[in-house]
A and B are shown apart, each in its own frame.
Chain A
C-alpha cells in the first residue's frame, strides 16, 4: 500500500481573490460570499440560502470590493468573481452600509431574532424613530422572499408570490385565497428565517410532526441542491441510467443477449431531457420534489386508434426505454414513446410487454417462429412497426397477440407444443421466473443479482435487491455468506417501503452530501436514519433499523408461506432462466470471449485453449449453475429457511408469527421435502 497522503494540484483556470488579506484561488463564477466562506470569513445574510438562487434582496451582505484599483459596494451573495479582486468583509465602508440596512430593519421588525442578532453584531441600537410599518412580532415576515424563491425553484409550483407595492408589499397566494395547487409540502416554512410561515394543517395527525418535518426538509434541500450533480432525477428521471447501464454492459439488448449497443446515443438521457416537459411537479407524490415522473406533450402517434392525434405520454423512464427500446432492438425515441403510450393506454406493463416481445423476436430470428405463425408480423429485432402492431393485436385479443399476451411462461409451452420449439432453448432464453417477466438489467456477471431477481417473491423484479454494482463492480460480496447477507438486508429494507406505502426513490436516488463518510454508504445511512425518525414521528416510539427489518421479515415470511400454501415457494421456483446467468448462444459467448475465457482460466481452472465454443459454454454453465445453488443454500440459511426454501417453525416463532395455521403449512411442506 502506498502513501496515505494525496497531492492536490490545480488543473482548471482559477482566479486569485483576497478576502481581508487572505488569498484563495476560486473558479470563475464563484460568488464573493462563497469565496469568503471558503476562508471561514463570515459575511452576514438574511435572504440567502444555498438551496435557491441568490438574488441580493435584503442587502445585508453588502460588501466592499476592489477591482483594478477601483472600490465599490456589491451584494456578496450574488456577485460573481470574473477577475482578480480584493474583498473587504469588515471594512469601515462595509460596516457602515450594513449598519444602515440593519437600522431600517430593526426599526420595522424590532423583535425578530435573526435581525436582532445581526444588529447586535454591528452595534446597531434601536433607532430613535418609530417606523410607520413597525411590526413587533418576533416571527414577523421580513419580506426576504426566500419562501417565494423556494416555492418556485425547489417545488416548481409558484403558489406564493409577492403581492402589492411599497408599504403594501407582502407574500400571498393568488387573490389572497388558499391555492388548490399548494400541496402543503412545507418547504416555505422550512426556509423562512423568522418562522413567519407555519404549517397549520397536520392532515395525518402524526404524533410528532416536527420530528418528521426535520428529516423531510433535509431531503427537500438535498433534492434542490444536490440532484443536478448526482442523478438528475428532476431533469430526466430514471432515464438518466440508460447510457450508464450501457457503459457497464448492463443494458438489456436483443432479449438480454448483450449489455450494450453501438446506437446507444440515440436513446441516451440528453435525448429524453429534450423530449420531456421540464420544471413542473409531476403530482405523483404530494410535495415530492424529486418529480422524476416525466411527460411528453403533444406527441402524435403514427399507428393505432390515436394515429395523427396529439396525446400526452407519461414517461418514458429507464425500464421503458430498455424494455421497449434496446431489448427489442429499437433505437428510435419516438417509437419508444409510442410503445410507452399504447402500453399505458391498453393497461399493459411496459416491462412485461418489452421483455415478452424480445423473447418472441429472438424466437422469430432463431426460426422457432415465422410470418405464418405470427400472422404476418416480421418480428425481427429493431422492427418497431411490427412491435407496435403486436401491441395493438394484444389489446384487441387478436391473432399472435393472444399468445404473446399470455406472457413468456405460457409462450414457452405453446411454442414447444404447437411450433416444435426446443423446450430447453425456450426455457434458457425466456426471461421470466415465477411467471413474471424480468425487469431491465443484465445480471450475467452478478451472482447476487441473479438470486436477487429469481428469489424475489413476486418474480424477477429488482425492487427487492439491486446488487449488481456491489457484487460485480465493487467486489464487496466475494463469498456466498456476504451475498446472502445482502440478500437479507436489502430485500427486507426495500420490502418496508411497500409496507409503508412509500416510494423507494428518495432513499438512494439522491444521497446526503456526507454519505461517503459513513461506514456503509451503499445503505445511505443518513436516509435510513431519516426513515427511522419518520416512522417514529408518525406513530410514536423510537424505531431503529433493526425494528424496521423485523417488520418486513414478518411480512416476507408470510408471503413465502402463502406461496407454499398455493403450491409454490420451492427451490425450483427460485431458479431463473440461464440467460440471466450466462451466455446461452455461441454468439453471446463469442461477443465477450475474452471475459468468459478468462473466467474459465481463473475460476473454473480450465484452459480454454483448443476447446470449441460449445465446450467452453458447457463448462462455464456448469460452474455458474453450481455457484447459483451455493447462493441459494446460503440465502436460505440466512433467512432461517430449509434447503428447499421453507421457513422453519423456529424462524416463524422467532418472528412472532407461529400461528397454528401458519406452522401447519410449513410443517406439511417440510414433511413432503423430508426435512421435518
Chain B
C-alpha cells in the first residue's frame, strides 16, 4: 500500500479493514504490541506482516 509520512500500524489496519481483534503484527520482523498499534509509525518501504489468529465456535 502507498506509504505516507506519519503512517501508523493502526492506519494500515484501518485502511485494509482488518477489524479482527486477535492480530499479530510485525514490521520488518520486529513484533509490534497491540497497545502500540496507534503510536507505532511504519517506516518507508517496510514490510508489515499481519497475522490473523482464529476464534469462534
Q: Are A463 and B22 in contact (CB under 8 A)?
A: no
Q: Decide if B51 is an interface residue (CB 8 Å cutoff).
A: yes
Given A230-B21, A244-B20, A247-B19: A238 and B56 within 8 A (CB)? yes
> In the complex, A533→B45 CA distance in Å?
44
Contact of A6 (CB < 8 Å), options: B24, B40, B45: B40
> B53 and A2: CB pair below 8 A?
no
**Contact flags B28-52 to A (C-beta < 8 A → 1, else 0):** 1111111010111111111100111
In the complex, the answer to whether A230 meets B22 with C-beta atoms within 8 Å is: yes
Contacts of A504 in B (CB 8 A): 57
Determine which of B31, B50, B54, B57 lies in contact with A517 in the assembled complex, contact meaning CB atoms within 8 Å. B31
CB of A469 within 8 A of CB of B39, answer: no
Q: Which residues of A contact B31 (CB under 8 A)?
A: 516-517
Instruction: Tell which of A232, A238, A521 touches B53, judged by Cβ atoms closer than 8 Å.
Output: A521
Does A272 sit within 8 A of B, measured CB to CB? no
A7 touching B54, Cβ below 8 Å: no
The B interface, classified by DSSP as helix, strand, loop or mixed, is loop
Contact B17 A5 (CB under 8 A): no
Contact B41 A7 (CB under 8 A): yes
- Determine if B52 and A469 form an interchain contact, defined as CB atoms under 8 angstroms apart: yes
Q: Determine if A3 and B46 form an interchain contact, defined as CB atoms under 8 angstroms apart.
A: yes
Does A612 make an interface contact (CB < 8 A)? no
Q: Is the CB of A9 within 8 A of B39?
A: yes
> Is B56 a contact of A2 with CB atoms below 8 Å?
no
Is A335 located at the chain interface by the 8 A CB criterion? Answer: no
* Cα distance, A460 to B33, chains bound together (Å): 36
Partner of A1, one of B8, B28, B40, B56: B28
Q: For B56, give its contact among A4, A241, A470 (CB under 8 Å).
A: A241
A317 within 8 A of partner (CB): yes
Residues on B with beta carbons closer than 8 Å to the beta carbon of A524? 53
B residues within 8 A CB of A8? 36, 39-41
Complex alpha-carbon distance, A317 and B42, angstroms: 37
A318: chain B residues at CB < 8 Å are 56-57
B24 contacts across to A, CB distance below 8 A: 515-516, 521
Which of B19, B28, B32, B40 has a CB less than 8 Å from the CB of A243? B19
Q: Which residues of B contact A204 (CB under 8 A)?
A: none
Q: A12 at interface (Cβ–Cβ under 8 A)?
A: yes
Are A12 and B39 in contact, CB atoms less than 8 angstroms apart?
yes
Q: Which of A549-567 contact B (CB under 8 A)?
A: none
Considering only CB atoms, which chain B residue lies closest to A292 in the complex? Answer: B57
Asked if A64 is at the interface (CB within 8 A of a chain B CB), the reply is no
Distance between A75 CB and nearest chain B CB, rounded to angstroms: 25
Task: Please indicate the chain B residues that have their CB under 8 angstroms from the CB of A50 in the complex.
Answer: none
Verify if A205 is at the interface (C-beta below 8 Å from B). no
Q: Which residues of B contact A1 (CB under 8 A)?
A: 28, 45-47
Q: List residues of chain B with CB within 8 A of the CB of A508.
A: 53-55
A229 to B37 alpha-carbon distance, docked (Å): 13
The answer, among A466, A476, A511, for a CB contact under 8 Å with B22, is: A511
Q: Assess whether A338 is interfacial by the CB under 8 Å rule.
A: no
Whether the pair B51, A474 counts as a contact (CB closer than 8 A) is yes
Interface flags, A2-36, vs B, CB<8A=1, else 0: 11111111111000000000000000000000000
Task: Determine the chain A residues whose CB is within 8 A of the CB of B42 once the complex forms.
Answer: 6
Q: Decide: B20 and A469 in contact? CB cutoff 8 A.
A: yes
- Which of A244, A319, A476 is the one whose CB lies under 8 Å from B57? A319
Distance in Å: Cβ of A319 to nearest Cβ of chain B: 6
A residues less than 8 Å from B34 (CB atoms): 229, 516
* Docked-complex contact A5 and B43, CB < 8 angstroms: yes
Contact indicator B55/A231 (Cβ below 8 Å) = yes
Min Cβ gap A636→B in Å is 24
State in angstroms the CA–CA spacing of A244 and B53 once bound together. Answer: 13
Partner of B43, one of A3, A470, A476: A3
Q: Which one of A238, A473, A516, A517 contacts B52 once the chains associate, using CB atoms below 8 Å?
A: A473
Output the least CB separation between B40 and chain A (Å): 5
Q: What are 13 contact pairs spanning A and B, CB under 8 A?
A: A2-B47, A6-B27, A12-B38, A241-B56, A248-B17, A319-B57, A463-B57, A469-B52, A469-B53, A476-B51, A509-B55, A521-B53, A522-B54
User: Which residues in A have some Cβ–Cβ distance to B below 8 Å?
Assistant: 1-12, 229-232, 238, 241, 243-244, 247-248, 317-319, 462-463, 466-467, 469-470, 473-474, 476, 504-505, 508-509, 511, 515-517, 521-522, 524
8 additional contacts (CB under 8 A) given A1-B28, A1-B45, A511-B53:
A1-B47, A6-B42, A7-B43, A9-B41, A244-B20, A318-B57, A505-B57, A509-B56
Q: Which are the 10 A-B pairs with shortest beta-carbon distances? A: A469-B52, A2-B45, A2-B46, A7-B41, A516-B24, A509-B55, A4-B28, A247-B19, A473-B52, A3-B43
